[in-house]
């Protein structure tokens, strides 16, 4: 099973990805998590990404595309994968489609967690408030959360709109409870019996 999760900051991508990848036994590939790990390790990639992330901006496409291409060639992806946070704009989507053709892979579903901007901001702010000391994400400040939502609306929504007519596109109401969202995804991807 190869899945792509689209949605704004705080739409529940990470939450649903963790549940689905455990249930399906596939790797969770989160570009945000990879970048945060690179930052924590102090690698050149992490240092390059830091200022973009802290401003709530997208990290340059070339950096991200190369990172995903490398990750998709790791042996654990043979069983499938779930991509969380990529592709994130029209340019990344175009390169990604070509990348998949070159490695003879395709996705099964494009899952869009649809959550309005006001709820996105509320959830990210709540997460920041609930974080224990030292665990708050550096981009979970009120200003950066607002910026991330604006970047999502400006850069990611146009890409999602392009995919809406795709036969593999699945619209999910992401405003429901975590359990309800998981159940809605399971019902749509036809994995109800397996999980
Ligand atoms: P990334 O790590 O991808 O973060 P994001 O898109 O801003 O999303 P979040 O992780 O904040 O939210 P989420 O949708 O995963 O929601 P979550 O499950 O955590 O990206 C970070 C940065 O990295 C970007 O800004 C950019 O700089 C860079 N980057 C990453 N990918 C890139 C790319 N492709 N190109 C360029 N740059 C890139 O949930 C949020 C909260 O809500 C939690 O507290 C959760 O418990 C709660 N919650 C979840 N679901 C529900 C529900 N159904 N009901 C109530 N609460 C819920």
pLDDT at 194 over 60: no
CATH number of the domain residue 94 falls in: 3.40.50.300
Mean pLDDT over residues 163-175, rounded?
Answer: 97
Higher pLDDT, 183 or 191: 183
**182 ligand 1 Cβ < 6 A:** no
- The residue from 127, 147, 168, 188 that is catalytic is 127
Residue 23: predicted pLDDT: 94
52: domain range? 2-189
Count of residues in the chain: 195
Give the chain's mean pLDDT: 94
The Å distance, Cα 120 to ligand 1 centre, comes to 9
pTM for this predicted structure = 0.95
pLDDT tens digits, 72-81: 999 999 989 9
Q: Distance (Å, rounded) from C-alpha 77 to C-alpha 49?
A: 25
The tally of domains found in the chain comes to 1
Report the pLDDT averaged over residues 71-94. 96
Domain assignment present for 194: no
Active-site residue, 13 included: yes
Q: Confirm whether 195 is domain-assigned.
A: no
Please report the pLDDT score of residue 193 as a whole number.
41
Looking at residue 167, its pLDDT comes to 95
What span, in angstroms and rounded, lies between the C-alpha atoms of 82 and 27?
Answer: 6
Annotated binding-site members: 10-15, 31, 36, 57-59, 85-88, 92, 127, 137, 148, 176
Catalytic site includes residue 127: yes
Closest-lying ligand 1 atom to the alpha carbon of residue 175: 53
Q: What is the ipTM of this complex?
A: 0.98
- Distances in whole angstroms, Cα of residue 26 to Cα of each of 69, 77, 88: 17, 7, 21
C-beta of residue 88 within 8 angstroms of C-beta of residue 9: no
CA 115 to centroid of ligand 1, rounded, Å: 12
């Amino acid at each position: 099973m190869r899945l792509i999760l689209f949605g704004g900051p705080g739409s529940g991508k990470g939450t649903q990805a963790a549940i689905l990848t455990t249930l399906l036994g596939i790797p969770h590939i989160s570009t945000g998590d990879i970048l945060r790990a690179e930052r924590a390790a102090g690698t050149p990639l992490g240092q390059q990404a830091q200022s973009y992330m802290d401003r709530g901006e997208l990290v340059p496409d070339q950096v991200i595309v190369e990172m995903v291409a490398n990750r998709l060639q790791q042996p654990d992806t043979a069983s499938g994968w779930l991509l969380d946070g990529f592709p994130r704009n029209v340019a990344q989507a175009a390169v990604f489609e070509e990348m998949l053709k070159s490695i003879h892979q395709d996705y099964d579903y494009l899952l869009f967690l649809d959550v309005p901007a006001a709820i996105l901001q509320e959830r990210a702010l709540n997460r920041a408030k609930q974080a224990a000391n030292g665990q708050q994400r550096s981009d979970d400040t009120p200003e950066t959360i607002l910026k991330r939502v604006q970047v999502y609306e400006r850069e990611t929504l146009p890409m999602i709109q392009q995919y809406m007519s795709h036969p593999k596109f699945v619209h999910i109401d992401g405003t429901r409870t975590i359990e309800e969202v998981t159940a809605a995804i399971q019902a749509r991807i036809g994995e109800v019996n397996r999980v």
